[in-house]
């Protein structure tokens, strides 16, 4: 635009040089002034107006007829006045347009901020609603826990008495030990619920992966057998020790295996695979706050099924409290949410991948440590 304005200015200067007596040509300086006004630059406009005024009065230096000089001065002064008026009006118009554009941009920005704030308010409201529902569930659970504590103790006593019966086979003894262990775990959970409004914080230590995987698999093996679903446990060789509270991670794995069993039809396969990988910088940083020592390795325990899978919309809400794809009365929607909370308290992560018709894989990642004499057997 500036180049065009300069070209127009030079053309008018040339016309003025060859026809100095015709003051009409000087009015052409209006064009470069208007072109420069579009640029909305006051300094550039002042320079342009000054150049046009000088060029207008420069026409007086050309020879004129006797007695015409005074008239030429008056005519060119009128031209200069017109040029100044056009410059003022042009800059005022463009500046007003600039203010309007700035106001529209500011309004658009404020509208966007309001929409973003509204979205945040909706999200906060949803979180508050979930918190209230969790608080209500917590009160209900505490009440139920108090009521079921006595019958559970009674069942535990009868199970112990059954284990001491003469005629109990080794296989029966194995099943009784599993039942007794799970009853004791339920009693401890109830005790934690009654003693505090919050769940017991994890008390992790270094232990072999098999110590948390094998009991969970053994507990659910009869349910898998009854449904006709194959349960495979594939633990890699020379796996690092895992940083875990055995009871807490056992609860997480039981929940994941229960979900996999529910999603897998008869004849399907659920596999538990354990491995190791280097820790990411984020995992190392989180590990500093949760683990005794520097985290360089993460142990992964993946629970994969060949079930129905989950659509993308459900997958995004998988860890949302109270969200469940199970039928009414068969699921609370808290399992994955509480499992992730537990894993994160260990300095680990819980992720899920799923594809409709192909199955789901949930990966539990916990800090790992190469086997040493310090590990708990």
Taking phi over 0 as left and psi of -120 to 50 as alpha, with beta for the rest, 246 belongs to alpha
User: CA-CA distance, 346 to 291, in Å (whole number)?
Assistant: 8
User: CA-CA distance, 346 to 285, in Å (whole number)?
Assistant: 13
Q: How far is CA 346 from the centre of its chain?
A: 21
pLDDT digits (tens, 9 = 90+) for 82-133: 888 888 888 888 888 888 888 899 999 999 989 888 888 888 887 777 776 6
Q: Are 207 and 246 in contact (CB under 8 A)?
A: yes
* Interval 15-29 mean pLDDT: 71
Beta pairing partners, 366: 299
pTM (two decimals):
0.52
pLDDT digits (tens, 9 = 90+) for 256-291: 998 899 889 999 999 999 998 998 888 888 887 777
- Six-digit token pair at 135? 């608080």
- Six-digit token pair at 88? 């003022």
Question: If DSSP codes are grouped into helix, strand and coil, which group holds residue 63?
Answer: coil
Query: How many CB atoms lie under 10 A from the CB of residue 253?
Result: 24
* Interval 13-37 mean pLDDT: 75
Place of tokens 């109270």: 322
The pLDDT confidence band at residue 2, using thresholds 50, 70 and 90, is: confident
- Six-digit token pair at 339? 């499992």
- pLDDT of res. 154: 65
Question: If DSSP codes are grouped into helix, strand and coil, which group holds residue 159?
Answer: helix
User: CA-CA distance, 32 to 6, in Å (whole number)?
Assistant: 7
Sign of CA dihedral 141, 143, 147, 149: positive
pLDDT digits (tens, 9 = 90+) for 159-218: 777 777 887 788 888 888 888 887 777 777 766 655 544 555 778 888 999 998 998 898
Query: How many CB atoms lie under 10 A from the CB of residue 288?
Result: 11
Q: Is 221 or 187 the better-scoring residue by pLDDT?
A: 221
**Mean pLDDT, rounded, of the chain:** 80
- pLDDT of res. 376: 43
Q: What is the helix, strand, coil percentage profile of the chain, to 5?
A: 60, 15, 25
Place of tokens 């909706």: 122
User: CA-CA distance, 204 to 362, in Å (whole number)?
Assistant: 21
User: CA-CA distance, 249 to 205, in Å (whole number)?
Assistant: 12
- Six-digit token pair at 41? 């630059």
């Amino acid at each position: 635009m500036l180049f065009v304005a300069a070209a127009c200015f030079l053309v008018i200067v040339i016309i003025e040089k060859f026809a100095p007596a015709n003051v009409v040509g000087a009015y052409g300086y209006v064009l470069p002034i208007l072109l420069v006004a579009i640029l909305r630059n006051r300094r550039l406009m002042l320079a342009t107006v000054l150049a046009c005024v000088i060029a207008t009065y420069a026409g007086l230096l050309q020879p004129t007829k006797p007695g015409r000089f005074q008239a030429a001065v008056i005519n060119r002064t009128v031209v200069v006045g017109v040029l100044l008026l056009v410059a003022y009006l042009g800059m005022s118009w463009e500046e007003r347009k600039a203010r309007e554009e700035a106001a529209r941009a500011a309004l658009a920005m404020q509208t966007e901020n309001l929409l973003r704030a509204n979205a945040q308010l909706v999200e906060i409201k949803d979180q508050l609603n979930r918190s209230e529902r969790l608080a209500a569930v917590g009160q209900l659970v505490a009440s139920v826990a108090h009521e079921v504590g006595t019958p559970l103790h009674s069942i535990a006593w009868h199970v112990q008495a059954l284990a001491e019966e003469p005629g109990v086979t080794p296989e029966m003894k194995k099943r009784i030990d599993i039942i007794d262990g799970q009853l004791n775990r339920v009693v401890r959970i109830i005790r934690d619920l009654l003693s505090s409004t919050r769940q017991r914080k994890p008390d992790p230590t270094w232990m072999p992966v098999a110590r948390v995987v094998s009991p969970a698999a053994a507990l659910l093996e009869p349910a898998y057998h009854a449904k006709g679903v194959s349960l495979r446990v594939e633990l890699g060789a020379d796996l690092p020790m895992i940083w875990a509270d055995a009871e807490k991670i056992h609860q997480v794995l039981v929940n994941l295996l229960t979900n996999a069993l529910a999603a897998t039809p008869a004849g399907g396969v659920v596999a538990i695979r354990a491995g190791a990988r280097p820790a990411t910088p984020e995992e190392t940083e989180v590990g500093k706050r949760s683990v005794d020592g520097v985290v360089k390795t993460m142990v992964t325990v993946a629970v994969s099924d060949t079930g129905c899978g989950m659509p993308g919309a459900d997958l995004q809400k998988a860890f949302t409290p109270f969200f469940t794809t199970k039928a009414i009365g068969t699921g609370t929607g808290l399992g994955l949410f509480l499992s992730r909370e537990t894993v994160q308290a260990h300095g680990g992560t819980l992720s899920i991948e799923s594809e409709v018709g192909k199955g789901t894989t949930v990966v539990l990642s916990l800090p790992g440590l190469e086997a040493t004499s310090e590990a708990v057997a």
